[in-house]
Structure 1
Amino acid sequence: MFQILLVDDEALARNDVKSMLDWEKHGFTLCGEAYNGSMALAMMEQHTPHIAIMDVSMPVMNGVELSLMIRNRFPKVKIIMLSSFDDFDYVRACLMNGAMDYLLKHRLTQDALLTLLNKAVQQLQMEEREQDVRSAQTQMMERLSPVILREYVANLARDVQGSGEELYAYARDNKLFPHSVNYGVAAVQIVPFLLLTELFTDVEKNRFVQRALDVMQMAIGDSQTRTVGYVGEGRFIVLISSVDRSEHTVTTQMSQAMNSLSHSMGKFLNLTCIYAIGPLYGSLRQLAASYSRANQVMNEIFYQDMHTSTLRDPLFMEERKQLQLFLEQLDWERTNQIISTIFAGLASQPVYAMPVQLIVSEMLHLAEMSLKRHVPRTSFEEDGLPSRNELGQLKSIANLEIWLLQYYARMMEIIKKQHAGGTYSRHILKAVQFISDNYASNNISLEITANALNLNPSYLSRLFKEETQMTFSEYLNRVRIKTSCMLMESGRIVLKQISLEVGFLNYTYFFKVFKLITGLTPQAYIDSLKPSKK
């Protein structure tokens, strides 16, 4: 309902207007009556109507004075004037003061009044819609403002031409960084971003970055004077402005802000960050140079010795080859040794250095590929594999090595458990596990296995055949041939070496067993792996 206030010093005139319409039927309600302008203003203070129907000529405060007061104090109220011919000069003054229209009292009819009321409603609704649009635009700008500012700041770090001038103009137009006389930036890097996010989808990575931005911004303070922008690949830029003229004081403020940022990232997101602070400047236009210096310091740390890192050392390629072989053989002892050798070559580098991240990424990839070959699932955290999220808090190469060893050890346990699966008895489960652990040894036999399990060889032989539908030797050979197939698929080892690696001392015997189980010769199996030529 649209509420209407009647203002007229004549009671008879007010009654005529009240009785002219079925107000509620047409969507209106009379919320009050006043007999002069002062009384009308007092009533509006208590309850503001949508529309005021008022006389021009009234004692104490006439319509002209009242319309001016309403325009200044209640600009949303629509005014309809009632007048006689003699009041036209007054009516014109009222119209200039914002009244929307007028009616001559002697020509006042239901239709004429209703027409003006509906006109007032249309104006009210239009203004409300316009207000909603303005409000929505304001809210959108409030939401976008930090985002836009972050992009201007990030462009400093991205070496976008003219970025300093554009940031200066945007800050000036939006009255940002008021009274600031000193500006500085810092480069921040999440450790280790690559390892944490390389399995993420784009949506997951964007969400991860947004959480980091929010925490960093919360840590350093008001975005109107201190702003965080995202550069890319886990690198951020932090802009801090200050009204203090002392460079020492401002440098201290920046250090405190960055310490707070680093602490908050660890507390709320379990992420370790490193940062470097650039020199101070007196203008936003010069901040690209400040970031360039901070970024140079950061890169000296982050990419140190990358041109001579073990990543480009041919020896590491050999270690990678060996690691893949030991993984397929589930040889924990030699896997442990090769991981220790790899990390010995990384000992001089910080945990967040890019060469370290790339090498560890490759090692994790090898492990995950091996796991997927043996265990038909896409997610393995439910099996107790260490989560990559833990990498964000590792602060040394030694801690990273321990984490990776735990990852590999658990991965091998999962694969062995998969191999030993089935509805076997306790004794046969142990025998199957013993084979999985020792198949590569040329000394493994039924007697050695039985002795290891404190069982009689004849009893174990009978029980093994009953439960697996295979003799001990048949089962052992199938495990060896399955592993040899995996090694062939890797394409990194020659056939005779493969036969030795899986426990066959005699290549001719390996050839015979392989063909018996797979139906192909070893070379034919390798050829079948090659893509067909069309």
Structure 2
Amino acid sequence: MFQVLLVDDEALARNDVKSMLDFESHGFTICGEANSGSMALSMMERLTPHIVILDVSMPVMNGVELSRLIRDQFPRVKMIMLSSYDDYDYVRTCLMNGAMDYLLKHRLNPDSLLALLNKAVQDLRDEDQEQEARRVHTQMIEQLSPVIHREYVANLARDPQAAGEELHAYARENKLYPDSENYGAAAVQLVPFLLLTETLTDVQKNRLVQQAADVMQMAIGDIQRRTVAYVGEGRYIVLFSSADRSEHTAASQMNQAMSSLSHSLEKFLNLKCVHAAGPLCGSLKQLGDSYRKANQAMNDRLHQGSNTPVRRESLAMEEQKQLLLSLEQLNEERMNRILSTLFASLQGYPVYSMTVQIIVSEMLHMVEMLWKRHFPHASKEDNKLFPSRNDLGRIGSLAELEQWLLHYCACLMEELKKQHAGGPYSRHISKATQFIADHYASNISLELVAGELNLNPSYLSRLFKEETQMTFTEYLNHVRIKSSCLLMESGSYALKEISSQVGFFNYTYFFKVFKLITGMTPQAYMDSRKQSNK
């Protein structure tokens, strides 16, 4: 219900208005009646009406003066003026005081009164909508303001000269970086961003980027004096301002802020970062050059080590083959040796360098592909044994990264061993097949495996035949031939060398078994693989 207050010094006139319309059926209620201006103001303070219908001609305080006071004290109240006289000066003054309309009492009728009341309601609703729109707009501006602010700063990394001019104008308009005498820009790089985010969705990646920005901003203080903005690929720009005229003092303050920023990232998000600062300058217009130099210093750090005697850019094809082969063969000792050699070749590169990140990324990609090949319907992320990629954020040295990757590959190898030893086999045969997978390259026999399992050799032989549909020797030979095929595919070994590596100490026997199982000679198999790889 919309509240209506009647103001007229004549009770008969008020009764005429009240009886002219069934107010409540149209959504209105008469909340009070006043016979003077002072009484009306007093009632309005208590009743807060939406609409006031008031007479122009009243003693002491007339309607014109009252309308001015209502406009000043209750600006949202809608006023409908009534008068017995058609006086132009009264009409103009009342309308200037905010009255909706001015009607002569003898012309007032139910239709015209209802039309005015409905118009007052519509005006009130329109004002409410405008006020809500202004509130939402203000809220959006307040929310977007840091976003817009950061975009101006981030543009310093894209177009230093033009962005410096634009930032200067934007800061002056919004009173940013007040009383500043010295400015500086720094570049910050999350370590190692590529390895951390390459398996994340865009939403997850954006969340990480924003969390890092928020933590860094919290560490360095007020965004209007020091601003963190995201540039891309784990790189941020930090704009620093100081009211101190001493460049030495300002530089010291900037170094302290960057140290706090780095500490907060590690404390709250388990993320390490590296940073480089550009020279101080006396104007926002010059900050683009400061960031350019900071960014160059950062890039020099990221590519540090590229001047070593053996420059590395990615994983060599032969290294990929050998690592994949060691995993497929479940040869943990060989896998450790390959990874150790790989990381030895990376000595001289910092852990956050792009060379290290790219090579480790390629190795992880190989592991991921191998996992999907053997476990197409299983999620590695659900396997609690595997180390999380989130752990990479806190790694600060090449040695730590090597240990993490060794553990990661060892977990995959363990799952592959379980798969090889699993299946529809009994406990005894599962253990026997696991032993074969671990020791096929050595001189093992049925008697040796039975002894390891504390079983009678005849009993183990019978179980093997029943469950695998192969004799012990046939099963062992299948494992050895499968491993020999992997070695052939690597293209790194001669046939006689391969035969001994997989446990055949007689090349003729290896030749015979290989042809029996694959249907072709070892040389024909190698030739066929070379042909398919062309």
Q: AA paired with 2:441? A: A
**CA displacement 1:423-459 (0-9 Å, x = unmatched):** 4333322211111112233x22223323333443323
Q: 1:58 & 1:529 partners in 2: Cα distance?
A: 110
Q: 1:260 & 1:293 partners in 2: Cα distance?
A: 22
Tell me by how many angstroms 1:115 deviates. Answer: 0.8
**Secondary structure at 1:306's aligned position in 2?**
coil
Counterpart of 1:460 in structure 2 is 460
Q: 2:181 & 2:39 partners in 1: Cα distance?
A: 55
Counterpart of 2:170 in structure 1 is 170
Question: Map of 1:190-229 to 2, 5 A cutoff?
Answer: 190-229=190-229
Counterpart of 2:388 in structure 1 is 387
Evaluate the alpha carbon distance shift between residue 52 and residue 473 of structure 1 in structure 2; reply closer, same or farther with a 3 A threshold.
Answer: same
Counterpart of 1:58 in structure 2 is 58
The root-mean-square deviation of aligned C-alpha atoms, in Å, is 2.9
TM-score normalised by L of structure 2: 0.90
Counterpart of 2:43 in structure 1 is 43
Counterpart of 1:374 in structure 2 is 374
Evaluate the alpha carbon distance shift between residue 138 and residue 485 of structure 1 in structure 2; reply closer, same or farther with a 3 A threshold.
Answer: farther
Q: 1:430 & 1:215 partners in 2: Cα distance?
A: 51
Counterpart of 1:95 in structure 2 is 95
Evaluate the alpha carbon distance shift between residue 182 and residue 44 of structure 1 in structure 2; reply closer, same or farther with a 3 A threshold.
Answer: farther
Question: Map of 1:340-489 to 2, 5 A cutoff?
Answer: 340-383=340-383, 384-441=385-442, 443-486=443-486
**CA displacement 1:210-259 (0-9 Å, x = unmatched):** 22222222333333333221111111111233333333443333333323
TM-score normalised by L of structure 1: 0.90
Say if 2:213 and 2:229, in contact at 8 Å, map to a contact too.
yes
Q: 2:449 & 2:425 partners in 1: Cα distance?
A: 16
Say if 1:310 and 1:316, in contact at 8 Å, map to a contact too.
no
Say if 1:183 and 1:283, in contact at 8 Å, map to a contact too.
yes
Matched, 1:120 2:120: yes
Q: 2:74 & 2:521 partners in 1: Cα distance?
A: 96
Say if 1:9 and 1:34, in contact at 8 Å, map to a contact too.
yes
Tell me by how many angstroms 1:195 deviates. Answer: 0.7
Matched, 1:27 2:27: yes
Q: 1:200 & 1:225 partners in 2: Cα distance?
A: 33
Q: 1:394 & 1:86 partners in 2: Cα distance?
A: 88
Question: Map of 1:251-400 to 2, 5 A cutoff?
Answer: 251-306=251-306, 308=308, 312=312, 318-383=318-383, 384-400=385-401
**Secondary structure at 2:229's aligned position in 1?**
strand
Q: AA paired with 2:440? A: Y
Q: 1:324 & 1:193 partners in 2: Cα distance?
A: 25
**Secondary structure at 2:19's aligned position in 1?**
helix
Q: AA paired with 1:121? A: V
Evaluate the alpha carbon distance shift between residue 397 and residue 528 of structure 1 in structure 2; reply closer, same or farther with a 3 A threshold.
Answer: closer
Counterpart of 1:74 in structure 2 is 74
Tell me by how many angstroms 1:492 deviates. Answer: 6.5
**CA displacement 1:327-365 (0-9 Å, x = unmatched):** 221111121122222222333332212222122212222
Evaluate the alpha carbon distance shift between residue 310 and residue 92 of structure 1 in structure 2; reply closer, same or farther with a 3 A threshold.
Answer: same
Say if 2:160 and 2:289, in contact at 8 Å, map to a contact too.
no
Unaligned 5+ residue runs, structure 2?
none
Q: 1:490 & 1:203 partners in 2: Cα distance?
A: 39
Counterpart of 2:250 in structure 1 is 250
Tell me by how many angstroms 1:87 deviates. Answer: 4.4
Count residues in correspondence. 532
Evaluate the alpha carbon distance shift between residue 315 and residue 354 of structure 1 in structure 2; reply closer, same or farther with a 3 A threshold.
Answer: closer
Evaluate the alpha carbon distance shift between residue 55 and residue 426 of structure 1 in structure 2; reply closer, same or farther with a 3 A threshold.
Answer: same
Q: AA paired with 2:289? A: A
Tell me by how many angstroms 1:166 deviates. Answer: 1.4
Counterpart of 2:10 in structure 1 is 10
Say if 1:190 and 1:271, in contact at 8 Å, map to a contact too.
yes
Tell me by how many angstroms 1:45 deviates. Answer: 3.4
Tell me by how many angstroms 1:298 deviates. Answer: 1.7
Say if 2:228 and 2:238, in contact at 8 Å, map to a contact too.
yes
Counterpart of 1:145 in structure 2 is 145
Q: 1:528 & 1:16 partners in 2: Cα distance?
A: 107
Evaluate the alpha carbon distance shift between residue 343 and residue 528 of structure 1 in structure 2; reply closer, same or farther with a 3 A threshold.
Answer: closer
**CA displacement 1:122-166 (0-9 Å, x = unmatched):** 222222222232222222222222112211111112235511111
**Secondary structure at 1:312's aligned position in 2?**
coil
Structure 1 range deviating more: 403-412 or 456-465: 456-465
Tell me by how many angstroms 1:95 deviates. Answer: 0.5
Q: 1:310 & 1:532 partners in 2: Cα distance?
A: 29
Tell me by how many angstroms 1:86 deviates. Answer: 5.3
Structure 1 range deviating more: 164-173 or 387-396: 164-173
Tell me by how many angstroms 1:91 deviates. Answer: 2.4
Say if 2:326 and 2:332, in contact at 8 Å, map to a contact too.
yes
**Secondary structure at 1:280's aligned position in 2?**
coil
Say if 2:489 and 2:526, in contact at 8 Å, map to a contact too.
no
Q: 2:486 & 2:6 partners in 1: Cα distance?
A: 93
Tell me by how many angstroms 1:505 deviates. Answer: 4.5
Q: 1:112 & 1:280 partners in 2: Cα distance?
A: 73
Q: 1:223 & 1:465 partners in 2: Cα distance?
A: 74
Q: 1:45 & 1:299 partners in 2: Cα distance?
A: 69
**CA displacement 1:351-392 (0-9 Å, x = unmatched):** 212222122212222222223333334521333111110010
Q: 2:264 & 2:45 partners in 1: Cα distance?
A: 49
Q: 2:478 & 2:8 partners in 1: Cα distance?
A: 106
Say if 2:161 and 2:285, in contact at 8 Å, map to a contact too.
no
**Secondary structure at 1:257's aligned position in 2?**
helix
Evaluate the alpha carbon distance shift between residue 454 and residue 80 of structure 1 in structure 2; reply closer, same or farther with a 3 A threshold.
Answer: same
Q: AA paired with 2:293? A: R
Q: 1:40 & 1:311 partners in 2: Cα distance?
A: 90
**CA displacement 1:297-343 (0-9 Å, x = unmatched):** 22222221235485638996544432222122111112112222222
Q: 2:162 & 2:252 partners in 1: Cα distance?
A: 29
Say if 2:489 and 2:529, in contact at 8 Å, map to a contact too.
no
Q: AA paired with 1:127? A: E
Evaluate the alpha carbon distance shift between residue 106 and residue 318 of structure 1 in structure 2; reply closer, same or farther with a 3 A threshold.
Answer: same
**CA displacement 1:54-83 (0-9 Å, x = unmatched):** 122233433222222333333222211111
Q: AA paired with 1:393? A: R
Counterpart of 2:236 in structure 1 is 236
Q: AA paired with 2:3? A: Q
Say if 1:375 and 1:418, in contact at 8 Å, map to a contact too.
no
